[in-house]
A = this chain, B = another copy of it.
Amino acid sequence: MITIKEIAARLGMSTTTVSNVIHGKTREVSAETIERVQKFLEEVEYVPNINARNLAQGQSKIIGVVLKSLDFRLWHSSNILNDPFVSEMIGGIESAVREAGYYMMLYISDDIAEIIQRISIWNVDGLILFCMMDDDGNRVAAKYHKPMVCIDTYSSEKKDDFVNVGLDDEKSTCEAVNYLIDNGHRKIGFVTDNRVGVDRARFWGYRKALAEAGIEYSDRDFFLLEPAEEAHGRNIEKLCRRARDYTALFCCSDIYAAIMMSALKERGLRVPEDISIIGFDDNLFSRVCTPRLTTVHQDADRKGRVAVQTLIGMITGKAPATKKIRLETRLVIRDSVRKIE
């Protein structure tokens, strides 16, 4: 790896000149010199040492992407990336980071202290936080004073002045459940594996739809998928038995919908003839299961990109227009919901 110093020596000029050409500070250099330097740079395939550059400038050009790996998100697989929604979002983040000339570093951990440690070491320029709970975001913010953007975060704290990219989860869910109600359903279950954050907001949307239609809610209508692997079989068994009292299930993600659908069908129930199912996300799962899933569409790739664009805006000194950025959703009607009389 050749250095600026050596280039300068070989060209018989100073490092300043070389550096200036590299950075396009061209008004201070003669056209001839520019030409000569640029040619030589290409010839030797110069690549800057980013450690030295960062050290000199007190920056890092790194965007830290923090995924808090919550157990409950994992019960169906070994890691959080396995959720197509997450992996598609990461894909969007990666592209946007790269296109902006930054680098991405991925931190997966459920230990906030460890995360803070690692982002501090790298002096990360900005942070994207996904799946943060309660005061996690605040804890990071308190220790690490750099721009940060959250994705899908609901804070239980009073002072929720963080920037967030998310959905109107309550409204989206309310619309989906209304669709079920419009199709004649009155016994509607709510399926998820947790009671916090996004899923809690969706739960309130579900409750709102029920209330507006004059349908009473009981705790039995809440179907909780359990994370523990060993208990999984029994848990599913119990949920399927309970499901027989319902004509429809709203599931908080396509994965849950696919899992429930598969389990129900295995036990002889037909979808949508015996029970209707609706999902959330509109990812590959919704198109591949049979029947194809009616679901709430969201654009995970775009969610990631918007988060990055907002963050880079903040890094370069542009405050976002809104702190709460909300992306669109829409109900995609396929074949998993039946009209009943």
Binding site for B on A (CB under 8 A): 1, 47-52, 54-55, 60, 76-82, 84, 86-88, 90-92, 94-95, 98, 103-106, 108-109, 117-118, 120-123, 255, 258-259, 261-262, 265-266, 283-285, 287-290, 292, 301
CB distance from A9 to the nearest CB of B (A): 20
| Cα A55 to Cα B3 with chains together (Å) | 13
Using Cβ atoms and an 8 Å threshold, which residues of chain B touch A103?
Answer: 105, 118, 122
Using Cβ atoms and an 8 Å threshold, which residues of chain B touch A104?
Answer: 105-106
| Cα A116 to Cα B84 with chains together (Å) | 29
Using Cβ atoms and an 8 Å threshold, which residues of chain B touch A255?
Answer: 284, 288
Identify which of B82, B88, B92, B265 contacts A91 (C-beta below 8 A). B82
Known A-B contacts A104-B106, A105-B104; A87 and B82 likewise in contact (beta carbons under 8 Å): yes
Q: Is the CB of A52 within 8 A of B50?
A: no
| Cα A81 to Cα B92 with chains together (Å) | 10
| Cα A5 to Cα B50 with chains together (Å) | 23
CB distance from A63 to the nearest CB of B (A): 11
Using Cβ atoms and an 8 Å threshold, which residues of chain B touch A118?
Answer: 103
Using Cβ atoms and an 8 Å threshold, which residues of chain B touch A51?
Answer: 51-52, 54-55, 60, 122-123
Q: Is the CB of A290 within 8 A of B288?
A: no
Could you list 19 examples of A-B contacts with CB < 8 Å? Answer: A47-B120, A48-B121, A50-B123, A51-B54, A51-B60, A52-B55, A77-B283, A79-B95, A81-B88, A98-B108, A103-B118, A255-B284, A261-B288, A262-B292, A266-B290, A266-B292, A285-B285, A288-B289, A289-B290
Known A-B contacts A105-B105, A121-B47, A122-B50; A288 and B259 likewise in contact (beta carbons under 8 Å): yes
Q: Is the CB of B82 within 8 A of A78?
A: no
CB distance from A43 to the nearest CB of B (A): 15
Which secondary structure dominates where chain A touches chain B?
helix
| Cα A80 to Cα B90 with chains together (Å) | 11
Using Cβ atoms and an 8 Å threshold, which residues of chain B touch A284?
Answer: 76-77, 82, 255
Using Cβ atoms and an 8 Å threshold, which residues of chain B touch A60?
Answer: 51
Using Cβ atoms and an 8 Å threshold, which residues of chain B touch A90?
Answer: 81
| Cα A157 to Cα B118 with chains together (Å) | 40
Q: Is the CB of A88 within 8 A of B84?
A: no
Q: Is the CB of B76 within 8 A of A91?
A: no
Identify which of B54, B95, B122, B265 contacts A290 (C-beta below 8 A). B265
| Cα A122 to Cα B47 with chains together (Å) | 9
Report the nearest B residue to A69, measured CB to CB.
B91
Please name 11 further chain A to chain B contacts, defined as beta carbons within 8 Å, in addition to the given A51-B60, A285-B285, sorted by A numbering.
Answer: A51-B55, A77-B88, A77-B283, A103-B105, A103-B118, A104-B106, A255-B284, A259-B288, A262-B289, A262-B290, A290-B290
Using Cβ atoms and an 8 Å threshold, which residues of chain B touch A301?
Answer: 78-79
| Cα A33 to Cα B51 with chains together (Å) | 31
| Cα A122 to Cα B104 with chains together (Å) | 12
| Cα A104 to Cα B79 with chains together (Å) | 16
Using Cβ atoms and an 8 Å threshold, which residues of chain B touch A79?
Answer: 87-88, 91-92, 94-95, 301
Q: Is the CB of B84 within 8 A of A78?
A: no
